Chains A and B, each alone.
Chain A
Amino acid sequence: MSGRVGIVGIGHTAFGRRSDATVQELAAEAFRAALADAGLERGHMDAVVVGSVPEYHKQRSLPGVVQEYLGLTPKPTWLTEAACASGSAAIRTAWMSIKAGVHDVVAVIGCQKMTELETAEILALMGRVGEVQWESSFGSTFPGYYAMFARRHMHEFGTTRDQLTAVAIKNHFYGAKNPLAMFRKEITAEKANASEDVATPFHVFDCCANADGAACVILAAEPRARGLRKPPVWLAGMGAASDTMSVLRRPSLTGLSSAKAAAEQAYAMAGVDAKRVRVADVHDCFTIAEVLAYEDLGFCAKGEGGAFISEKRSYIGGSTPVNVDGGLKAKGHPIGATGVSMTCEIVKQLRGDAGERQVPNADVGLTHNVGGIGQYCFVQVLTRDE
């Protein structure tokens, strides 16, 4: 199959504490919405790829349960895992299966329930987020790693505490306009700076929150993608790269080399450059991560990420609006669902369906989904027909 792969349907649950639903019930909400959006029946699916991180669920081997609950057996299903980038990794596997000519129509469901773990289990998982032989033994944490990136970026480029806070303020500003976001309230610098320390220089408001939620996209091969309910949005550029797990083996802590590499691949495949991107959803698991993304994706030069946010260039009306759905920061981060959620948002933007957070003339969009501290990165460039 040498033709294009299009997204023909999207579905997205509310993110947040979903004490009303099991993970397969969340998957059903997103899948049912995506089917309706595409005007397809579940029998049209050739396969279902699930993006999720297994250690958060009591239920082991999630795809089997989701497939049963959605009544999709005996169609094939499998899990794709790449930590916080599992959603985009799953989209990549589905895209590859279509490009290979194996399947025509594939549903990707990113789903995660994170709020049902007990505190002790969360603390234990937290303690194994890094490389366990040489780092976790000293009590390293996920915020701690990004905090070390932040401090180094501040040292080399003069990035300021206020610029980090400005990322959180922007993402909450847009989160307040997203009916599916976990936190729908604007914040002030005073409130953010008064929040508790987590890992210096980070406060609570530099960190995204664990959440429950699901998102679904339905992919189809080019001939099949046409003539459905909505015009397709094309996966025009697909980049993927990795980097070391360990910060002991990272030459630079002021960027993610995997993000740079994945972006270069995606831009080259789509035949566009960073300047052409009209709207982007990037992986702001911590405020500094969005600053690194501006630079790694080429929205601004290396070291200018701090100014990029303080000059509001990532707001609607700026040079590249970023995370105008609230980002992970305000939308919440149900890790397996996050990458799929990003793609859903960019599809909405390219269709012109984003309501009060619509970016004018959004015809080229980008997603940037990072696993861990850049062990995995997936970048998509999405386009639409004129």
Chain B
Amino acid sequence: MFKWFGRVNHAPHTKVAEFAQHLREGRLMASRCEACGHVSFPPRADCEACLHGAFTFVPVSGRGTLHTWTRITAAPRGFEDVAPYTLGLVDLEEGGRALAWIGASVPEASLAIGMPLQVTPRLHEDVEDIRVDYTLESPKGATA
């Protein structure tokens, strides 16, 4: 099911594939190591702290702040028809980061490093196949 994730997916097979199912149901999940309890976002099958190989999914709030951003004009394959688009990198409140598009609730003129943003699960219905990802939205204007 991880093939559902992203506009272009280069890694359909992964031990954290269930992430996409959760996302489809509106939940943003991190991984928690069963040995040391370390939480990672994006999720990892193998703990980044101790390299233990067993984990469980745990929900995270998706609250974060903008670390940096860029508006991409020269786009790669699969994105030519949607450029320009704006990528934001957010530091998450519970640790970890997310890279995603700045969503419609955040006008580009309002972008400022340090501003609060909400990582918001998205189920795209504009395509025939199932496609999920997340966008970075204003905490007030966020709609799941």
Contact = CB atoms under 8 A, between A and B. Distances in A.
Contacts, number: 113
A200 to B, nearest CB: 4
A152 interface: yes
Contact of B14 (A133, A136, A138): A133
Interface string A127-158: 11000111111111101100111011001000
B89 interface: yes
Contact of A141 (B5, B48, B75, B100): B75
Interface size class of A (residues with CB under 8 A): 35 or more
Contacts of B14: 133
Most chain B CB atoms below 10 A, which of A126, A133, A136, A138? A138
A233 to B, nearest CB: 39
Interface stretch (A10-18, A48-56, A104-112, A245-253): A245-253
Contact of A148 (B10, B68, B75): B68
Interface in B1-55: 5-11, 14, 42, 48
Contact of A200 (B42, B70, B97, B101): B70
A307 interface: no
A136 B67 contact: no
B128 interface: no
B87 interface: yes
B140 interface: no
A249 B97 contact: yes
Contacts of A140: 72, 87, 99
A127 B9 contact: no
A187 B8 CA distance: 38
A202 B9 CA distance: 26
A141 B74 contact: yes
Interface of B: 5-11, 14, 42, 48, 67-80, 82-85, 87, 89, 96-101, 113, 133
Given A138-B101, A155-B113, A247-B89, 10 more contacts: A120-B77, A124-B76, A126-B76, A133-B11, A138-B7, A139-B7, A140-B87, A141-B74, A148-B68, A248-B99
6 contacts: A123-B76, A136-B8, A138-B133, A139-B76, A139-B79, A155-B113
